[in-house]
Structure 1
Amino acid sequence: MRIIKKILKYIGIILILPALYLIVSLVLTYIPVNGKQGSEEKNHTVYLSSNGVHLEIIIAKNDLNASVLKDQLNTSQAQYFSFGWGDKNFYVETPLWADLTFVNGFQALFLNTPTLLHVTRYSSMQEDWVALKVNQKQLKKINQYISATFRLNSENKKIVLPGLGYYKNDDFYEATGNYTCFNTCNSWVNTGLKQSNIKACLWTPFDFGLLSMHKNQSDK
């Protein structure tokens, strides 16, 4: 009987932890930060996009600083650059959601795993992007945040992983930081906005909080 009680206790803990994570995540997602903005003119635009789960931030080539563009591949035709951060193994082994396995998902969420920056180049703006108006200081800070996420080699060059891009217009680069369920691809974008004094969630592992926040703002 004691053994059964212990087993039930452990099962209860296992079930409670995900529920607690979800509740806390949702609460923090709907608490905005950086809501009060200064009087400086917002004459630049950055964008957010999502594949339904995973957020990326997009910046026009003319608004990217030299440190971000340095060592980038195939930039001649690109007018916009999309940046997404995530678990290295998940990116490489799961190009499609149909390729997702329990092992890949578990490792990404619960192990302190290495990361990559996924950089996609676009020749024109896409209709589903959500626009964020920013001022010059905010633009400078988000550039610095992205630049600092690239892992550099001993020669201070970005480390590209050749041949691992999904299409002809994207590449993967070694990144700083580690992926966990508390530091997800979406929280990376959210942290970048927070540090750049752009309206963001207090914390979020999801994509929908930021998307709805800025879509509603742009609709006003």
Structure 2
Amino acid sequence: MKKRFKKILRYISFILLIPIAYIIVSLTLTYIPVNTDEDATRKNSSVYLSSNGVHLEIIIPKEELDPSILEGLKFQDTEQFFSFGWGDRMFYVETPTWGDLTFVNGFRALFVNTSTLLHVTRYSVAQKDWVEIKINADQLQKINTYINNAFRLDANDHKILLPGLGYYKNDDFYEATGNYNCFRTCNSWVNTGLKQSDIKACLWTPYDFRLLDLHR
């Protein structure tokens, strides 16, 4: 009985070490910045970051969006800003806020390699809580390419809209490429986009707060 009890304790300790190690490593990598060198290139364009407390998203003015991204998107002429977020399919649909989070959908999103969606929200005017990032033409092109490649296309190369799943009248979900897990989260997707676009970012992060702080 004593040996069995010790064995159970070892299993419990091992299980507890996994989330603790994840938190320690993720926080360490979160506070290591990349793309911090300033260049002399004129930064005439702006993109924005926004978070609802769960999902971090990238916002791009319509005039700065590549036409290939706009093609196939649902929007009105008066909508001038497009917000893009990527995440687990079920988590996105069932967890719009932290209050909707359950153990089952949280565990599934983190530890099962799940399918993903792109969340696209349209705005007529910029919002006060957005964090602005000034970028140059090359960075703008790269972030546009990154977002465009995140849309999964059908056999006819059309974006796949999922009608009726949006939270409000100004947002929709589209099928996305890639799979979601604890190493590739909605916020790490945004961070990767910034990194690949030569914009200041974290070495890696599953969180939203550090990216927002870096650009405030």
TM-score (norm 1): 0.96
Structure 1 unaligned blocks of 5 or more: 216-220
The alpha-carbon deviation at position 99 of structure 1 amounts to 2.6
Residue of structure 1 in register with 2:121 after alignment: 120
Whichever residue aligns with residue 199 of structure 1, its letter is K
Give yes or no for contact 2:54–2:97 (8 Å, CA) kept in 1: no
> Equivalences for 1:123-162 in 2 at 5 Å?
123-162=124-163
The alpha-carbon deviation at position 37 of structure 1 amounts to 3.0
Deviates more, 1:45-54 or 1:183-192: 45-54
For residues 100 and 171 of structure 1, the distance between their equivalents in structure 2, rounded to whole angstroms, comes to: 20
For residues 55 and 16 of structure 1, the distance between their equivalents in structure 2, rounded to whole angstroms, comes to: 27
Whichever residue aligns with residue 7 of structure 2, its letter is K
Whichever residue aligns with residue 49 of structure 2, its letter is L
SS at 1:22 equivalent: helix
The sequence identity of aligned pairs, in percent, is 67
SS at 2:19 equivalent: helix
For residues 145 and 110 of structure 1, the distance between their equivalents in structure 2, rounded to whole angstroms, comes to: 25
Residue of structure 1 in register with 2:211 after alignment: 210
For residues 131 and 28 of structure 1, the distance between their equivalents in structure 2, rounded to whole angstroms, comes to: 23
The alpha-carbon deviation at position 39 of structure 1 amounts to 1.6
TM-score (norm 2): 0.97
Give yes or no for contact 2:54–2:98 (8 Å, CA) kept in 1: no
Give yes or no for contact 2:81–2:123 (8 Å, CA) kept in 1: yes
Residue of structure 2 in register with 1:176 after alignment: 177
> Equivalences for 1:32-181 in 2 at 5 Å?
32-181=33-182
Matched residues, number: 215
For residues 60 and 166 of structure 1, the distance between their equivalents in structure 2, rounded to whole angstroms, comes to: 21
For residues 205 and 68 of structure 1, the distance between their equivalents in structure 2, rounded to whole angstroms, comes to: 25
Whichever residue aligns with residue 15 of structure 1, its letter is L
Once the two structures are superposed, residues 61-114 of structure 1 have per-residue CA deviations (whole angstroms, 9 ceiling, x without a partner) of 000001111100023121000001000011122234333221111110100000
The alpha-carbon deviation at position 53 of structure 1 amounts to 2.7
After the TM superposition, list the runs of 4 or more consecutive aligned residues in structure 1 that deviate by more than 6 angstroms: none
